[in-house]
């Protein structure tokens, strides 16, 4: 099953949140600024998933930065994809890195990084970071703006 579409399949439609990330489709739409190096950022300060061991909810703040090439991630499809984790059991590392890889599969950006800033469970906050490679020369890369855990 393909996890991405080359057209906006969800815009203007009443679409329910998929029950599982594997059911979610990320839409890739044409980049009107293709050939221009720029950074696009998505922030999801209320991301939720489930602990795969206890079934208890996990809460995180995701920051996704990417330098698009020919296509962009359509934001409604991204919102639905992220929402599909709400009832999905996975470790923080798997959620964070898996989300980054799915976006890369869908839009093939020049570069991507994702920061998963997870709230404590069992007294330990876990922050997870992944990127596709070196930052492209000349790309303005602001700080992700999420402080180290101290009651975020």
Closest alpha carbon to 42 in 22, 16, 61? 61
Of 14, 22, 44, 51, the active-site residue reads 51
Closest alpha carbon to 83 in 16, 17, 24? 17
Which region, left, alpha or beta, applies to residue 106 given φ > 0 means left and ψ of -120 to 50 means alpha? alpha
Residue 23 annotated as lining a ligand binding site: no
Residue 2 annotated as lining a ligand binding site: no
Of 44, 58, 65, 95, the active-site residue reads 58
Residue 15 annotated as lining a ligand binding site: no
51 catalytic, yes or no? yes
Residue 107 annotated as lining a ligand binding site: no
Residue 93 annotated as lining a ligand binding site: yes
27 catalytic, yes or no? no
117-138 burial string, b = 16+ CB within 10 Å, else e? bbbeeeeebbebebebeebeee
Q: Could you give the C-alpha distances from 122 to 23, 58, 118, 125, in angstroms and in order? A: 30, 11, 12, 8
Residue set of the binding site: 73-75, 92-93
Residue set of the binding site for substrate: 73-75, 92-93
Positions marked active-site = 51, 58
């Amino acid at each position: 099953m393909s996890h991405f579409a080359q057209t906006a399949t969800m815009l203007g439609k009443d679409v329910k949140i998929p029950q599982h990330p594997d059911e979610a489709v990320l839409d890739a739409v044409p980049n009107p600024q293709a050939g221009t190096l720029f950074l696009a950022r998505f922030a999801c300060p209320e991301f939720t998933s489930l602990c795969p061991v206890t079934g208890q909810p996990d809460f995180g703040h995701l920051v996704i930065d990417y330098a698009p090439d020919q296509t962009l991630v359509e934001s409604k499809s991204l919102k639905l994809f992220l929402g599909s984790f709400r009832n999905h059991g996975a470790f923080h590392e798997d959620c964070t890195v898996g989300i980054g890889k799915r976006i890369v599969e869908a839009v093939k950006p020049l570069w991507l990084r994702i920061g998963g800033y997870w709230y404590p469970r069992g007294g330990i906050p876990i922050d997870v970071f992944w990127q596709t490679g070196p930052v492209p020369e000349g790309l303005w890369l602001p700080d992700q703006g999420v402080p180290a855990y101290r009651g975020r």
